[in-house]
Amino acid sequence: MATFSCPVVSFAMKCSYGSSSNGNHGDYRVDISVNGSASTRPVKHHALVNEIALKSPTSLANIQFLENSNEKIRQRIPTKKLLVDPYRRGLIVERGVGYRQTVVVRSYEVGADKAASLESLLNLFQETALNHVWMSGLLGNGFGATHGMVRNYLIWVVSRMHVQVDRYPIWGEVIELDTWVGASGKNGMRRDWIIRSQATGITYARATSTWVMMNQQTRRLSKMPDEVRGEISPWFIEKQAIKEAVPEKIVKLDDKAKYVHSDLKPKRSDLDMNHHVNNVKYVNWMLDTIPDKYLESNQLSSIILEYRRECGSSDSVQSLCQPDEAEISVMNGRPLDMIYGYTHLLRTKGETRNEEMVRGRTRWKPKI
Amino acid sequence: MATFSCPVVSFAMKCSYGSSSNGNHGDYRVDISVNGSASTRPVKHHALVNEIALKSPTSLANIQFLENSNEKIRQRIPTKKLLVDPYRRGLIVERGVGYRQTVVVRSYEVGADKAASLESLLNLFQETALNHVWMSGLLGNGFGATHGMVRNYLIWVVSRMHVQVDRYPIWGEVIELDTWVGASGKNGMRRDWIIRSQATGITYARATSTWVMMNQQTRRLSKMPDEVRGEISPWFIEKQAIKEAVPEKIVKLDDKAKYVHSDLKPKRSDLDMNHHVNNVKYVNWMLDTIPDKYLESNQLSSIILEYRRECGSSDSVQSLCQPDEAEISVMNGRPLDMIYGYTHLLRTKGETRNEEMVRGRTRWKPKI
């Protein structure tokens, strides 16, 4: 580990809720009986599962096997590269290595202004990234780890995310999400996204992110094993969704921050497949600290996140937020205070010391 | 109103955040310039919008018109019946009146157990109901109101919802949602749903709901005008997703309830397109009151909701919850307390009195 060379200086992990996150969740139900509900199609796969169950109904090892079989039948994760997925409306583009998915903005993904929320966009980024790995035939588990990563007990952790939004898609609008990956230094991976209007081709949003590998047992960063590089590097593209000459440095806030929300706690529904608090939830903690009045007349145009530390399920989290100094402008003869940026910090609030989880920087523009 | 005959005794409104909810949101942005982002397709519709803008750029009426034009171009709500929607993977079934949509369970719709949450299922119910009206060519505004309803200032309000879940779909699973409508008494409408596995046809969940019309200005229930009956009754089917001989009566809880969460406040992100707290959020307030320990080993098998009153944006909400008396059972020689049901109440907490918002009843079964 001493010679580890990683392009990201800050170290980040997703929120962990226990020492194990290998995807074998003990509480996953085994539901092998065919229930009595009306069925409109022949029951293809359950016969097999029932047969296995009848042979040795009490063995714990068999139950584990059945869980996995049942999941496999229901998920049907491809074992080799797929070019088109009609259910996801996904296809492989960019000469065979990028992924494009067409999505309709759903009624529950928009807010009171009928526009998709930032949370919805981040959710779609996660979804398309995972579907990209899904279609590549490399998917070993739920969070985008390849078979080689699973063999080496490695998981992905996000260290940085930068999102720029020119325009928010609205309810019912058809959008196209493109995503692709590239190298980031020797041991990291970059993942980018672009959201376009399907009707006009106009770009609505762009995002870039950096990921590194962590040993899920030692919780330490890891080099990228040659086996894994061999799996993923054929998918790398040079193209960048956001050109960043010099990445912006984010100041670390302290107790003097203007707005502080304390005692934030992860809820049960904040946990995702990996028993982690999903990083999208972090963003909500940040944005909820900005005054309502400001958000009524402004919309987010960019956010940069630097993930630094995981938080525990029992951690109490503080969200700090500091507006940039207001610029005085004049509109219709009246002076206006205009704030275009906020600096953010999420930290755990311990008895003796606080620890940084995420630094953030948001930029805003007036709603027209 | 005195002679109003309605099949639902209890009166329900969605949470309102102001006197107007006609869908013309003043803060909706008018974004008519073609931004400088890379475009991969010819800009088809913006030329039209720009042309209109140039003709009379300062008139407020024109801005309103432009907002609507721009929305229409981006949403493309059908003005006549569509049989297939490739973007939504939706189609008209049931001899021309039912709607079926194929959906892949997304990574952010599942919880730590990889299974879709109840919230996700309720979101999909809302989405498919709106897409059903969308494809019917009758959609006048975002919340499923027909053109006739819009002309009569009427909106839909839900008064009752009953959901039964045999099995929760898991991440990546392809499911089919069927939805259809029927009469409910003289002035109400029933809407039902069924969720099936796409691979096996096995039914995973069923739901039924009752809707009535409300005058959005007086906030009072309304008869169904003949004009509206003429629009929607050709879509009515007799079939019921859940047969309820005698609907279960839900006890009204009081301060003696075992679990009470107080000071719940709607967040900005809880508001939907109609500036209402979405009824799905109510359900989370209910379920969060059940002890974590219980939820680790049990899963919801049914929920009945009776909506009774809207809540204001500044209301403080209490969530009360009472377990049924535990049944003593024995497993592996050890006695076990087993609770199969909870009664719920959401109420506003006023200075002088509390008012009922929603009564609920949940039933549970052990996770296997």
pLDDT for B7: 39
Question: Which B-chain residues 139-178 have CB contacts (< 8 A) with chain A?
Answer: 142, 166-167, 169-174
By Cβ distance, the residue of A44, A111, A134 closest to B271 is A111
Which helix or strand (DSSP H or E) is residue A65 part of? helix A60-75
Asked if residues A82 and A137 have their Cβ atoms less than 8 Å apart, the reply is: yes
Q: For residues A132, A133, A135 and A140, what is the CA-based torsion angle, rounded to 10 degrees?
A: -160
CATH code 3.10.129.10 region(s) in chain A: 1-30+77-247, 249-368
Q: Which residue has the higher pLDDT, B255 or A31?
A: B255
Q: Classify each residue of A243-259 as buried b or exposed e, where b means 16 or more C-beta atoms within 10 Å of its C-beta.
A: eeeeeeebeebeeebeb
Contact check, Cβ <8 Å, A269/B117 = yes
Q: Which residue has the higher pLDDT, A101 or B368?
A: A101
Q: Which residues of A touch B271 (CB under 8 A)?
A: 111-112
N-terminal to C-terminal alpha carbon distance within chain A: 51
**Nearest residue on chain B to A280, alpha-carbon basis:** B108
Which helix or strand (DSSP H or E) is residue B221 part of? strand B221-222
- Gap between the Cα atoms of B185 and A124, Å rounded: 41
Contact check, Cβ <8 Å, A74/B199 = yes
- Gap between the Cα atoms of A227 and A178, Å rounded: 27
Dihedral (CA of B184, B189, B195, B201) sign: positive
**Nearest residue on chain A to B106, alpha-carbon basis:** A127
| pLDDT digits 0-9 by tens, B156-187 | 999 999 999 999 999 999 999 999 999 999 99
Give B79-247's CATH code, choosing from 3.10.129.10, 3.40.190.10, 3.90.950.10, 2.40.128.50. Answer: 3.10.129.10
Contact check, Cβ <8 Å, B74/A108 = no
Query: Which residue in the block uniquely carries the two structure tokens 């409910």?
Result: B184
pLDDT for A113: 85
Low-confidence winner among A152-156, B148-152, B348-352 (lowest mean pLDDT): B348-352
Cβ neighbours of residue B24 closer than 8 Å, sequence gap 6 or more = B64
β partners of residue B213: B156, B222
Q: Mean pLDDT, to the nearest integer, of A13-35?
A: 31
- For B3, B145, B232, B247, the CA distances from B186, given in Å and listed in that order, are 12, 18, 13, 19
- Shortest Cα distance, chain B CAs vs residue A155, angstroms: 16
Both structure tokens of B243: 């047969």
Question: Which B-chain residues 42-71 have CB contacts (< 8 A) with chain A?
Answer: 42-46, 71
Contact check, Cβ <8 Å, A200/B41 = yes
How many Cα atoms are found within 13 Å in the side-chain-facing hemisphere of B13?
23
Low-confidence winner among A50-64, B199-213, B215-229 (lowest mean pLDDT): A50-64
Determine the residue type at B1: M
Asked if residues A158 and A210 have their Cβ atoms less than 8 Å apart, the reply is: yes
pLDDT for A30: 26
pLDDT band at A272 (very low <50, low <70, confident <90, very high): confident
Compute CA B31 distance to the chain's CA centroid, rounded to the nearest angstrom: 29
Asked if residues A225 and A147 have their Cβ atoms less than 8 Å apart, the reply is: no
Report which DSSP code applies to A152.
Answer: T
Contact check, Cβ <8 Å, A368/B169 = no
Neighbouring C-beta atoms of residue B51, cutoff 10 Å = 9
Helix B118-136, helix B279-287: angle, nearest 10: 170
| pLDDT digits 0-9 by tens, B9-55 | 333 333 332 333 333 333 222 222 233 333 334 434 443 333 333 44
CATH dotted code for A249-368 = 3.10.129.10
- Gap between the Cα atoms of A52 and B364, Å rounded: 28
Q: Is the per-residue pLDDT at A118 higher than 80?
A: yes
Asked if residues A117 and A109 have their Cβ atoms less than 8 Å apart, the reply is: yes
Q: Which residues of A touch B35 (CB under 8 A)?
A: 166-167, 202-203
- Gap between the Cα atoms of A216 and A229, Å rounded: 18
Determine the residue type at A245: A
Q: Which residues of B touch A127 (CB under 8 A)?
A: 106-108
**Nearest residue on chain A to B200, alpha-carbon basis:** A43
- Shortest Cα distance, chain B CAs vs residue A311, angstroms: 16
CATH dotted code for A1-30+77-247 = 3.10.129.10
CATH code 3.10.129.10 region(s) in chain B: 79-247, 249-368
Both structure tokens of B306: 């009776």
Asked if residues A31 and B365 have their Cβ atoms less than 8 Å apart, the reply is: no
- Gap between the Cα atoms of A204 and A197, Å rounded: 7
Is ipTM beyond 0.90? no
